[in-house]
Amino acid sequence: GHGNFCDLNELTAFADYKLPQVLRELGVIEYGKELRDIIDQEITIPQGSPMEVEIRAATVLAVELLKREFQKMGLSYISPQIDYMLWSLGQREEFRKKPYHKTPTIYY
């Protein structure tokens, strides 16, 4: 019926602004100095720019690698579940120490 999805396991992370912030705090992703300074100074990163695409790509890759590590531990999660776990961590103050990247867009 409507709203019944049989292929959620085919989805990857939703590369928004919150996940990279959490992944950075966890030490899962690291930015080069230039990008790190731009994010830390809260300078706007244009939508579709190489830096913004790099952040999104690193986020998706990190979630897929986390999924692989979970599988090695005998835990079976699909990427949207890991996305939700990370997003939920991002609601906690300890994961908001460093700023998230600023990219005005309708796609997040």
Q: Which two tokens stand for residue 23?
A: 């992944």
Task: Kindly list the distances between the CA atom of residue 106 and the CA atoms of 16, 30, 37, 96, 103, in Å, as whole numbers in the listed order.
Answer: 11, 25, 24, 22, 10
Is residue 21 within 8 A of residue 96, CB to CB? The reply is: yes
Enumerate the active-site residues.
Answer: 16
The 3-state DSSP class for residue 44 equals strand
Q: Which helix (H) or strand (E) holds 51?
A: helix 50-72
